[in-house]
Amino acid sequence: MRNIVLLAVQGAGKGTLAQKLSEKYGYANISMGEVMRNARNDGTERAKIISEYQDKGILVPFDITLDLIKERISQSDCQNGYILDGFPRDLKQAEAYDQILADLGKEIGIVINLTVPENIIYERISGRRTCKNCGRIYNIYSEKLKPKKADVCDECGSELYQRSDDTEEALKVRVETYFKVTAPLIDYYKEKGVLYEVASIDADQTLVDVEKIFDQLGDDND
Ligand SMILES: [Zn+2]
């Protein structure tokens, strides 16, 4: 059983790592964004509250977020471990998460902080172009993902555009906010002795590095 919290700024490759770990080790892959989307659409009273808040652009009440996490990690697919992405986001959530784990008799496991040089984050996000017609995503800075003809979709020939939240300014604000809010979280987990820093530049290498941590910690498939 191994529980993992993934911390990283957007564009650091969290989703890719979570998917690889989930496929290889059978850990449940939990994205807080997805948990929230599912809860919003489940037709309950709570779904109505979530929609109301989100439609107004306000954060969903803290108690609801906590309930959702508690319910999700109690599900049977989490028995052998899970990867949590997008929660906790700040110190208040981290403390509440500790309480949830205590209530459920679960271990925190490990917290992985994916680090990536800032210029790479900018390339990954500000190089992103989306097809207006089919939604396919390209990256003008990537040999593998770059479109054959500039600003035209390889698949359907439609125009590519840059989403407004992919621009450098929008990204800068997000990155700065992330580091401000997350820095105390990193210290919190460092003090607990559960934090591991892993560079996220090449996805395969990142997996190898995470598995080195698993080896160090020993096999705990009990
Ligand atoms: Zn297209």
Q: Do the beta carbons of residue 49 and residue 59 sit within 8 Å?
A: no
**pLDDT given for residue 79 in this prediction:** 93
**pLDDT given for residue 60 in this prediction:** 93
When mean pLDDT is compared across 60-69, 70-79, 98-107, 174-183, the lowest value belongs to 174-183
Ligand 1 ion: residues within 5 Å (CB): 131, 133-134, 136, 153, 155-156, 158
CATH of 2-116+175-217, one of 3.40.50.2300, 3.30.565.10, 3.40.50.1970, 3.40.50.300: 3.40.50.300
Torsion on CA atoms 184, 190, 195, 198, rounded to nearest 10: 70
Enumerate long-range contacts of 53-62, CB under 8 Å, 24 or more apart. Answer: 60/36, 62/92, 62/96
Q: Is the pLDDT of residue 182 over 90?
A: no
Q: Is the pLDDT of residue 222 over 50?
A: no
Q: Where are the domains of the chain?
A: 2-116+175-217
**pLDDT given for residue 67 in this prediction:** 97
**pLDDT given for residue 38 in this prediction:** 96
Expressed in angstroms and rounded, the spacing between residue 11 Cα and the centre of ligand 1 is: 22
When mean pLDDT is compared across 33-47, 108-122, 183-197, the lowest value belongs to 108-122
**pLDDT given for residue 171 in this prediction:** 83
**pLDDT given for residue 1 in this prediction:** 66
Average pLDDT, the chain: 92
Tell me, yes or no, if 124 is annotated catalytic: no
Expressed in angstroms and rounded, the spacing between residue 154 Cα and the centre of ligand 1 is: 7
Q: From CA 107, how far away is CA 211, in angstroms rounded?
A: 19
**pLDDT given for residue 84 in this prediction:** 97
Q: Is the pLDDT of residue 219 over 80?
A: no
